[in-house]
Structure 1
């Protein structure tokens, strides 16, 4: 019997920890939109790079100054590789615009790029029978920094590490294959590669450096835009927390806040909480202990509200107003409010047992359901989130009625029926609630239900 509540408590703690570190839906949407934008930019960058380098290689070919068979073969291989590279960029842009394979596209394009570059190097190594130790003279090697810079656009550390690892391993296999050539063999091979060191081919290398710098510019610019957007979002949240309950600010968009700014009428369940005889208690202890006492009480109110999804509208000295159904109504709002009241009473009982208060701390809880005005009121210098209406006044009067009813928690018949807990509550006879025009039926937890 003791294992079940302990297990329930443990599961609740795990859920609270998970919710603390899980990314919210709004944040996930922002990240996904950033990923899609990065895919488009990466695809467009590939197309631009392929076009620029293809024109540069074509200009070298048309200059009629390249006669070396090695250089001519390299030009043909470079043109084919650039066409494939541009096609991959076009396909990436097309699929990103249609939100296809968004999560897998960065890794797919990285693998295709690696196969293209390392495959070209391997072809040169084994088809031309050139030692792998001379891989640095191949023009395609200069494309590697471009590809790695383009990968950085996605802002995915694991992908970047994967790409770096693939190129390091691939180059190592090529570079250390075939053993170390003799000096005569090196001179023989280099003499056949003189066409790869003309001013035209060096201009192609300079263009490659230029493309790397352009891609890194895009990476830095995208990082700056993301930083500015994050700062704007954070500033918005900080501004909201100045006059909204802290639980509301993280889940409100600018549009939702605008809706609150204009105000609206919504059905909510309200729970008023107040400490009994707190004025006399405060006169008998020093201010420091009183501050600690009130802080401890509020901590327990926060704990109960968080456990059942309540929004603390405000603390009023030794009391609090907790809302259920803000900003959107849920079917179990009232049931969660009643469960929150029971949880808070249990926390106060344990607090009394732990601190051995004499007399023990007692609280009153009043719960009611109805329609209220909900919104942000005031001018720009002083805005305040509030709920107004007869329902709020009634909930406050129900909490005050707990004093004369000698009961720690009372709820209206409207709240009990909305929660479907008719069998667990008993009606309480009471005087008409002060300031409430219509008849309110008050209910208290049934003794049998409380005992169970």
Structure 2
């Protein structure tokens, strides 16, 4: 019993999953770039807002009488809060520029923002004795919508909900945590803090409105940039799907597409397959039945290619050209091509058993590994993805050789060697492949 078969099966499954994950690398990369840019912009916003408000507080402090100790302490608390707010922005921007803690920074900075603001209000309440019910009169409360707008830069709804809940709970605790004030007590307390209604305090409030407007402009601009980029790349991919293999279009960026336009040489494994005696089915079926038949056949080819990470370059009537190693080469390209051939043979055998075709559907498969040119050719009116080279020609000739050898699947010795399956294949005698100048050793499955 071959105990390594289950292990190979699990390993093959993991490799297929890895390729699925890699197919979304372009999307993941774009999202991560957007997150990093948002963190840097959010950090700069904190620095700019802290600077604007700090200057406004300094200007407001000129109009405060030195004999008013409460106002003096509040100004000092505001200056400390703004200095920490700006330092937090600088730290966040620096970490984002170094790509450090990108996933945790939005939560960390948003929570610290809330703690700074609520801490400032708590100091006014417990440190200076201002009733919590009067928290709304202090300019620092106006920083709350500013920080909420800064959180919106990250486009993370759950983070926005969390921060909003922190503010609601914290402000509710301040507003309703103490004893209710009578109208006379409220008038007396307000008379003692009348400085918060001065022109200087209103200047601070106006500065906060300006800061909020700047942040919302940035949020709107960032949203517009992301929208335009998404529309542009979506449009590009929609256009690509018209002439590129469907497996390639979702993973191509503008740079990758430009590379395909220039063309490149790559080592790939090519699988050619073709249906035998297909003219019989075309002559005995009516057009509607034939369309369903060909569609069902191609569906099985698609299933086999998808299962093993192959890219269908094109269908040629009742045949197909499948590539392994595009858009990126892998160590298991040859192995996956051979597995794909075996899977395709099993799918066709099950199809025959299910539909009881007479004569049964038979296919020929030829597989070869080598260097090809791949790229997008043509002008803007008609573009086409193509692979050309001796490797493609040899794979086609190997598929044709299955007829004379009487075997459904043949592969070149190069492919079998790269797949590490020398012990599972045997060499077959075959005439030189027509149109191929060099000698090619053909092999068939031993079982």
State the TM-score, normalized to the length of structure 2: 0.91
Indicate if the aligned counterparts of 1:70 and 1:195 stay in contact, CA closer than 8 A: no
Q: Is the 8 A contact 2:26 2:252 kept in 1?
A: no
Distance apart, 1:282 and its partner CA:
1.1
CA offsets per residue over residues 358-391 of structure 1, 9 Å max, x none?
A: 2221111111222322222222322212122232
Is 1:435 paired with 2:435?
A: yes
Check if 1:199 corresponds to 2:196.
no
Looking at structure 2, the residues matched to 445 and 56 of structure 1 have their Cα atoms a distance apart, in angstroms, of: 82
1:162 corresponds in structure 2 to 162
CA distance in 2, matches of 1:176, 1:385: 68
Correspondence for 2:266: 266
Pairing 1:177-256 to 2, within 5 Å after superposition: 177-256=177-256
Between stretches 341-350 and 429-438, larger displacement belongs to: 429-438
> Is the Cα contact below 8 Å between 2:61 and 2:200 reproduced in 1?
no
* Long gaps (5+) in structure 1: none
Give unpaired runs (5+ residues) of structure 2: none
> Which moves more between the two structures, 315-324 or 368-377?
368-377
Contact 1:273 1:321 in 2 (8 A): yes
Asked whether 1:59 is paired with 2:59, we answer yes
Counterpart position of 1:283: 283
In the alignment of these two chains, the number of paired residues is: 445
Distance 2:80 2:97 in 1: 26
Query: Is the counterpart of residue 418 in structure 1 residue 421 in structure 2?
Result: no
Q: How far off its partner does 1:424 sit?
A: 1.8
CA distance in 2 between counterparts of 1:275 and 1:99 reads 53
CA distance in 2, matches of 1:246, 1:301: 14
Structure 2: distance between partners of 1:245 and 1:133: 65
Alpha-carbon distance between aligned partners in 1 of 2:20 and 2:155, rounded to the nearest angstrom: 24
Matched, 1:332 2:338: no
Is the 1:74–1:139 Cα contact (8 Å) retained in structure 2?
no
Task: Output the CA distance in 1 between the equivalents of 2:411 and 2:20.
Answer: 32
Aligned to 1:111: 111
Tell me, yes or no, if structure 1 residue 323 matches structure 2 residue 341.
no
- Provide the secondary structure at the position in 2 that maps to 1:203: helix
Q: Distance in 2 between matches of 1:78 and 1:216?
A: 23
Q: What's the offset of the Cα at 1:228?
A: 1.5
CA distance in structure 2 between the partners assigned to 1:17 and 1:393 by the alignment: 31
| Counterparts of residues 356-395 of structure 1 (less than 5 Å) | 356-395=356-395
1:29 maps to: 29
Range that drifts further, 57-66 or 341-350: 57-66
Q: 1:102 Cα deviation (Å)?
A: 2.2
**Residue 29 and residue 330 in structure 1: after superposition, are their counterparts in 2 closer, same or farther (change >3 A)?**
same
Distance 1:345 1:184 in 2: 91
User: What is residue 302 of structure 1 aligned with on the other side?
Assistant: 302
Worse-superposed segment, 263-272 or 149-158: 263-272
Conserved? CA contact 1:68–1:192, under 8 Å? no
Q: Deviations over 1:17-41 (max 9, x none)?
A: 8976888222222222222221221
SS at structure 2 position matched to 1:288: helix
How far residue 219 of structure 1 moved from its aligned partner, in angstroms, is 0.8
Task: Decide whether aligned partners of structure 1 residues 98 and 428 sit closer, same or farther in structure 2, where only a CA change above 3 A counts.
Answer: closer
Please tell me whether residue 75 in structure 1 is matched to residue 75 in structure 2. Answer: yes
The Cα of 1:197 is off from its aligned counterpart by 1.3
- Given that 1:67 and 1:195 are in contact with CA atoms closer than 8 Å, whether structure 2 keeps it comes out as no
C-alpha spacing 1:39/1:371, structure 2 compared with 1 (3 Å): closer
Instruction: Verify the 8 A CA contact 2:275 2:364 in the aligned structure 1.
Output: yes
How many Å separate the matches in 1 of 2:97 and 2:108?
16
